[in-house]
Structure 1
Amino acid sequence: MYGKILVPVDLSNANKAERAVKKAEALLDQGGQIVLMNVVEDLPGYLAIDVPMDIIENAVKDAKSQLAVLKAKSPHISLTEIRSGAPAREILAFAEEIGVDLIIISSHTPDFTNYFIGSTADRVVRHAKCSVLVDR
């Protein structure tokens, strides 16, 4: 099926993350690898003054520990990556860098805000150069 699968996870919903990893395991070639990724969003400049300076550092530390827990649950996860920035842009850039065959991304039920700005999953689907499976 697929030799290298990228699973970008939103760590605020552990159930969806675990479900995406299980789907990746089911679609993985023998000897293939799963790569977990999380993107910590940058704070807009107008908010940076009003929040503690170490908020991004703490978010990265928290993401590392949560990804380690997920990695321990699957022998197929070979790598975890944490990036900072716009989620869709970082997911797409990392997918190209490591040459994945498939991206499995979770999506929430669309609401009114998606019609104006779109969701991360929408952007990844539109711009990915590999196959994308959207898990709902």
Structure 2
Amino acid sequence: MYQKLLIAIDPEDDGEGKRALETAMEMLAEGGELHLASVYSPGGGGFFPYVTEEAPEDKEAAVRETLDQMVQKYLPKNSHANLHVIAGNTGEKLLSLAGQLCADLMILVSRGSSGHWPLRRATVEYVSVNASCPVLVLPSLEKANDPPE
């Protein structure tokens, strides 16, 4: 059982959040701390990185609201989770947060090289190799349910 669990969640993937939260609740010690983290990119793209479609504070509020909805939806009523919404490089920010929290375990869900996030696998590998705590990488539900070829 772990005292401090950090779960990295993509707020756009409800199934990922459900899977990670269910796994965490099985591994969390009674009275332990559960932390949910989502890292978003604050800037725009292209030649004008200072021009964004959405203000950073609006983006942060939207991500926080989605995480809060996941907590209400998938955690038992007597459970609590600390939410962390951070702007920046995903791998670096997750490692920094894990160190600040003195996390016992970090949980990630990997989609591998499939899906619409081609850099996702690189982030999971970077975090797994450089984390100051053990990292549990869960396969995505889609990947886990795919029939063998």
When normalised by structure 2's length, the TM-score is 0.79
8 A contact 1:40–1:56 mirrored in 2:
no
Q: Does 1:107 align with 2:99?
A: no
3-state SS of 2:66 partner:
helix
Distance 1:50 1:80, change over 3 A: closer
Q: Deviations over 1:22-73 (max 9, x none)?
A: 1000111111121001111132573425533x34332211101111112223
State the Cα distance separating 1:118 from its structure 2 match. 5.2
Question: What is residue 124 of structure 1 aligned with on the other side?
Answer: 127
Q: Deviations over 1:86-126 (max 9, x none)?
A: 00100000010011100001111225x55xx9521111101
How many residues matched? Answer: 132
3-state SS of 2:69 partner:
helix
8 A contact 2:111–2:121 mirrored in 1:
no
Q: Does 1:97 align with 2:90?
A: no
Question: What is residue 46 of structure 1 aligned with on the other side?
Answer: 47
| Gap regions ≥5 residues in structure 1 | none
Question: What is residue 33 of structure 1 aligned with on the other side?
Answer: 33
8 A contact 1:10–1:38 mirrored in 2:
yes
Question: What is residue 60 of structure 2 aligned with on the other side?
Answer: 60
Question: What is residue 71 of structure 1 aligned with on the other side?
Answer: 71
3-state SS of 1:100 partner:
coil
Distance 1:2 1:49, change over 3 A: closer
Between 70-79 and 83-92, the greater mean CA deviation after superposition: 70-79
> Identity over the aligned pairs, expressed in percent?
23
8 A contact 2:110–2:121 mirrored in 1:
no
Question: What is residue 88 of structure 1 aligned with on the other side?
Answer: 91
